[in-house]
Structure 1
Amino acid sequence: MNTDYTFQGWLGKDAKSVEGNMVWEEFQPKPFTETDVDIKITHCGVCGTDIHTLRSGWSPSDYPCCVGHEIVGTAIRVGRAVSNIKVGDRVGVGAQCSSCLKSDCEECSAGLEHHCPRFVATYNAHHTDRSRTYGGYADYWRGPGAFVVKIPDGLTSAEAAPLLCAGITVFSPLKNNGAGPGKRIGIIGVGGLGHLGILFSKALRCDRVVAISRTGIKKHDAQAMGADRYIATDEEKDWAKSHSRTLDLIVSTVSSPKMPLGSYLKLLRTNGQFIQVGAPEDVLPSFSAFSLIAKGTKIGGSQIGSPKDIAYMLDFAAKEDVRPWVQERSLKEANQAIVDMEEGRARYRYVLVNEANAKL
């Protein structure tokens, strides 16, 4: 079996790497085992998590780190214990690369691997053997085959990449909280996650999809994605009052703690639900308990999905023609892509293309 390849990628060495200072270097992946898969990377989405991690926003990062967890490529080495993937398959891996997978684990045994207490992130973490996990801003990726999924033929690799994290992050709370015919859905934030929330809500045949953003600058795009209504909270006077009790489910994708949470809750109908998926680096704002009590409102959170959930979502996207709005960037431009992403220039997801591997 040909293994004469080296692992190289863009490494963040410290918190200033987020300013466009990642360096291209060789790194040592985990030792290969018969449960692993090696992927020759062709595409990798740029996620907000990459930025939070590079600058140690949520917690101190374990440098050097290679970020990127919307990875698509070709399986080039497959361990004998892997049954779901074969050499030559077009495959992907998202934000999680491992869990304990033990039969006595309440989460793993229930198909909730993404909530396993021994969740292993695709980068900035450690495998059970204590080796580092490295992400997809690289030539190759290695990790457990149980968390690698096949990419359906109906999606291009550039389209599939953002779905592996951003896509499942919004699809899970929509599907798990009743989004579908008869439901009115609000999506807060029209960005990498939010635009996919709009696309999936329409594909799920929701009665009404409302895009919610601070300004009206993205209104035209949101409507093109399928939004039936648009609320610009900084520009529309008394928006919380005029749209009160109009939504069954709100999915909040924003990662800023400066959100009018109490006003958002006013938009919910009786027994409505507010699900937070964006992860601010600071605490969420306070709100009145009566926002929950008066209407039986529920607040919750959602974190990606299991490998089975991701496979289902990919097939759904291919079948329902859900196409992320992507802008392809060369892997060589990873530093600039990070800077541009941080400055809000993406419309609506950057995907890094490893041109050398994509040609093969």
Structure 2
Amino acid sequence: MTSIGIHDIELATTHHLLDLGTLAETTGVDPAKYRLGLGQDEFSVPAADEDIVTMGASAALALLDRNGLDGVRTLLFATESGLDHSKAAGVFVHKLLGLPPQVRVAEIKQACYGGTAAIQAAVGIVQRNPNERVLVIASDIARYALDSPGEPTQGAGAAAILIGVDPALVEIEPASGLFSADVDDFWRPNDSSTAIVDGALSISAYLDAMTGAWDDLAAHGGPAITAIDRLVYHQPYTKMARKAQARLGEHTGVDLGDDGLVPGAIYNRRLGNAYTASLYAGVASVLDHERDLVGKRLGMFSYGSGSVSEFLTGVVQPAAASRSDHFTSVLDARVPLSVPEYRELHARELPSNVDVETPRVTEAPFRFAGLRGSARRYERR
């Protein structure tokens, strides 16, 4: 059987960050509520000239600079922060990257699960034609109402993932476990710029979906829990991975501990919730911070509220041993915001029927230039 999986992965984020200690001090909250209770230290905040397109294009540019364009005939853009009801955000990226016309582009949506849906679609495309590779971009900005319980779990980030045969990083194994249920735990209506969350229901729905997906994986020939060396979970906040690990250990009757979760939380503690990119930021973090994983098996749980989930596994390949944590320098380079500056950016909404030029802030390769004639405009810096 042809080996298919993640050949390479690259992350990107925004120009700004908000330190949760600063937010706690301003709002009179004990910082431990965020740092220990949620497992979060800070979150990324987009500048006025950044969005899911600029982040996704930046991550993809670095990925393609390393790997080239040969065989790339599909770009799948996964997001729940869509910019248009009709046009895929990936079409903007297609132009920014200078991709040839012979590339299909589509957008995939199902809350935070969308990135995994795109990867599984990519695996199917490659299986049909092993000469092709698929560029998957998962890019999101998590926004919640000010002073709401969800506010400290905001964030922003993108993952660009190249799927192909004979992958250099992770071979995705054929068996996976699925679980879907209609649950009103989290959603964002079309006329709202912020999400609606039922926090308690969201936790229980996540955990029920995780055990349901695990049982389905086991029923379809997946590996035993003792054959998985490292578990990585979707992390709306990193403490959620610890809850999931404890539940899975209880469900399988195996003491899984939680020490192995630390490498997969390093980036997410600083990015905040990147929705569709969250799981894959965790995967990248594991690969970037552990050097003894070659030949070992990852278990990966993807959850998208509403809800759709999948448990999949993959075997780490030799090129993972040469990865570095260069993304840490990207996180370190972000510019901190004061709480008033953050709130001003949070309140900024652009009506589509008014022409506007955005200020030049980002130092990333691409920027959102503004609106003209109700159409979004982008520039390569």
With the length of structure 2 as denominator, give the TM-score of the two structures: 0.28
The structure whose residues are more often helix, as a share, is 2
Structure with greater contact order relative to length (CA < 8 Å, sep ≥ 6): 2
